[in-house]
Amino acid sequence: MSDRKLFASPQDAEAAFYDALERCDLDAMMAVWAEDEEVVCVHPGGPRLVGYATVRDAWQRVFANGRKLRVQIVQQTSITTPFAMVSTLLEHISARGEDATSAPVAATNVYVRGAMGWRMVAHHASPVPPSSVAEAPRTLH
């Protein structure tokens, strides 16, 4: 679609992804995704979803209640090349206006650069046991 927003950097695309998630905005969410039958999305505890229409349907179900969310991102790291970025992070998600925060979610987001700028091609989110979320060291040795 020529009227889709152009994301000049993978960081712009990732910021738009989390903004759309917080606002439960399906159109904004899908503007971040590549319109490709090879895109993949895995929601916490859910199946592997492949294809733009399938991913869109899943996000529509996630947003069906219309509740606005608060998403706090921590422990973010990324690897970026001229044509791809892989971002790993922890998401702490809660409903706006509520004090309770759900268990953290470990997410991996993959973005690629194409003719229409940067687009998400994969989002994989998995629950993380709360006891394992202590600030992890950034070096192995």
* 32 within a domain of the structure (yes/no): yes
Its pTM stands at 0.85
CB 18 within 8 A of CB 89: no
* 3 within a domain of the structure (yes/no): no
Which tokens belong to 105? 């979610």
* 139 within a domain of the structure (yes/no): no
Residue 99, domain extent: 10-129
124-140 per-position pLDDT tens digit: 999 987 666 555 444 44
CA–CA dist 33, 19 (Å, integer): 14
* 57 within a domain of the structure (yes/no): yes
**What sign results for the dihedral spanned by CA atoms 61, 64, 65, 69?**
positive
Give the residue, 66 or 58, on which the prediction is more confident: 58
Number of domains in the chain: 1
7-50 per-position pLDDT tens digit: 999 999 999 999 999 999 999 999 999 999 999 999 999 999 99
69-114 per-position pLDDT tens digit: 888 899 999 999 999 999 999 998 887 666 666 678 999 999 999 9
Element (H, E) at 11: helix 10-23
If we measure between CA atoms, which residue out of 95, 140, 109, 138 comes closest to residue 34? 109
CATH number at 36 reads: 3.10.450.50
